Chains A and B, each alone.
Chain A
Amino acid sequence: MDATATTTLPQGISFERGETGEEMYVNMGPQHPSTHGVLRLLLKLDGELIKDCIPYIGYLHRCHEKIGENRNYIQIIPYTDRLDYLASMYNNWSYVKAVEMLMGIKPPERAEYMRVILGELQRIASHLIWMGTFGLDLGNFTIFMYCFREREMVLDLFESVSGQRLNYAFFRIGGMPMDFPETFYTDCVSFLEWYKARLPEYDRLLTDNVIFQKRAQGIGSLSREDAISYACSGPVLRGSGVRWDLRRNDPYGIYDRFEFKVPVGERGDVWDRYMVRRIEMEESARIVEQALAQMPSGDIMGKVPKTIKPAPGQVYSRVESPRGELGHYIVSDGTPNPYRYRVRSPAYVNLSAIAAMLKGCLLADCVAVLGSIDIVLGEIDR
């Protein structure tokens, strides 16, 4: 709109000069309803066509890793909740798994089952919130309310288990702090029944809607090679046609005991990423059912020394969070605090591929592409 926009490019930034020389620059965010937080995208446009995109992140930066270096191993657990606040269980899980690997602790079997159940329920909750906000980005309000209804039920389950609805801090190094309450099993089964019956409802409202399909198909394509080069993970990688799921390809915990499908897309567009998540919502429910059926009795806490002081060493552990490969890299120097504590957040890495996805899209598609990556700024900015 404004010819003077070109002069507001920050220092050190230069886009390649285009052929036509009629580009204009548009800031999307940091205050914009569709950036899911405070993300700023600087878009170079030729008319409505996106020529280039520079993301600016860090508005929520709190130097999580520095905080981690100044806390002892147990104190870090509640801090990890704040990374990906829509899937806190996975942050806990990835972190405690890293410490367990470092110390050579194996949690008891029942704790592993609890982790799988809570984790997959968390994946359902996270995908539900993603589906709702994605519908909202494309102008469908109603799906948002539907998804939140079911998400509330998952949060009720979590509340009955941990007493918290968002930041659970429920995993412990070496196991779980307390067992499921008596009511959990029946509640969980009835939730799954209700939830599985709602999925066709979402399909009728969103998936089968022609306008929605037109908005999602064929835009924001990411090729297989690009997806691997950008080290995308989770639904973004699978949407690009790579059959890669850590639960299947690098099974941690007890994931080799469950039967589930790993959906993949073909063209790597927004639609494929949508469908991958949509099918995962079903598969997660299946995993929870199997886990509930197989659940053994026994201890929930392994043998853990009173003070957590891992021997010097380093470890990189990863789990498949709803957004992809969530990794924790921990360097121990034998003190009660980690010497270096690094989080490999999936949304951060997936977001770095957005310029490749957006090239050649229209401005209005930007919202859809951003929604299909499923970003959480708390995790990206750390």
Chain B
Amino acid sequence: MSVEQGLFYFLAAFSVALALIVVLAQNIVRAAVALIFSFCGLAGLYILLDAEFLAAVQVLIYVGGITILLLFAILLTSRIAGKGVRVLNEQKVVSGIVAVVLMVLLGLAATRGFEAPAELPKQPENTPRIGTLLMTTYALPFEAVSILLLAGMVGAIFLARKEEK
């Protein structure tokens, strides 16, 4: 077992364990903190796949941006911070079935759907390639996503704006 393999198993177990805490934790702030570390574990997995850019963006956007804002929102609405949150509700059975089905589907897709390459192609400098692709082949989807985000931003500003009297 090489270092890479060992690291992979460690990071995978780490991410899954923390993801479980996110779902099961009674305390919402603790869940958010666990989410952060789970994301970090995923970033580690990306690095093992030589997708360094993706890893950095994962940390920057998901950890540095989204989860921080999440925590911020939790702290601002002080009533839910520090209080216990019910993890299970009445629809235990239904949700359990859905979860199992989803897991089976994903497992099937992972094992049968794609053909796993025998060896990952080594991409020493994938960041410039991503940049070039985004600006040439995928320019249209890229711009479409930008417009979507812009619309989201406008909506957020509209909602947050105070009513003028």
The short answer to whether A and B are in direct contact, CB under 8 Å, is yes
A2→B79 CA distance, assembly (Å)? 8
**Complex CA distance for A1 and B77, rounded to whole angstroms:** 9
Residues of chain A within 8 A of B78, CB atoms compared:
1-3
- Please encode chain B, from 78 to 119, with 1 for each CB lying within 8 Å of some chain A CB and 0 for all others: 110000000000000000000000000000000000000000
Contacts of A2 in B (CB 8 A): 78
| Range, interface on chain A | under 10
- In the bound complex, CA of A3 to CA of B78 (Å): 7
State the Cβ distance, B94 to closest chain A Cβ, in Å: 34
Task: Name the prevailing secondary structure of the B interface residues.
Answer: loop
Query: Which secondary structure characterizes the binding site on chain A?
Result: loop
Chain A nearest CB from B155 CB (Å) reads 22
Size band of the B side of the interface? Answer: under 10
Q: Within the assembled complex, what's the spacing in Å between the Cα atoms of A200 and B121?
A: 69
Assembled-state Cα–Cα distance A185/B79 (Å): 67
* Chain A residue nearest in CB terms to B77: A3
A252 to B158 alpha-carbon distance, docked (Å): 63
A3 to B79, CA, bound (A): 7
B162 smallest CB distance to A (angstroms): 10
State how many angstroms separate the Cβ of A25 from the closest Cβ of chain B. Answer: 13
For the complex formed, measure the closest distance between the CB of B77 and the CB atoms of chain A, giving whole angstroms: 10
User: In whole Å, how far is A2's beta carbon from the nearest beta carbon of chain B?
Assistant: 7
How far does the alpha carbon of A2 sit from the alpha carbon of B76 in the complex, in Å? 10
Chain B residues with Cβ below 8 Å from A1 are 78
Provide the residues of chain A in CB contact with B79, threshold 8 Å: 3
Scan A1-39; emit 1 where CB is below 8 A from any B CB, else 0: 111000000000000000000000000000000000000
Q: How far is the CA of A1 from the CA of B79 in the complex (A)?
A: 9
* Smallest beta-carbon distance B105→chain A, Å: 44
Separation in Å of the A26 CB from the closest CB of chain B? Answer: 13
Taking the closest CB of chain A, its distance from the CB of B80, in whole angstroms, is: 11
Q: How far is the CB of B79 from chain A (nearest CB, A)?
A: 6
Map CB proximity to A onto B59-82 as digits: 1 under 8 Å, 0 otherwise. 000000000000000000011000
Interchain nearest-CB distance for B118 vs A (Å): 57
Q: Which residue of A lies closest to B76 (CB)?
A: A1
- Complex Cα distance, B79 from A281, in Å, reads 51
In Å, the complex CA distance between A2 and B78 comes to 7
Please measure, in the bound complex, the distance between the C-alpha atom of A1 and the C-alpha atom of B75, giving whole angstroms: 9
Q: How far is the CB of B160 from chain A (nearest CB, A)?
A: 12
Residues of A within 8 A of B (CB): 1-3
3 residue pairs, one from A and one from B, having the closest CB atoms = A1-B78, A3-B79, A3-B78
Task: Name B residues whose Cβ lies closer than 8 Å to a Cβ of A.
Answer: 78-79
Q: List 4 A-B contacts (CB under 8 A).
A: A1-B78, A2-B78, A3-B78, A3-B79
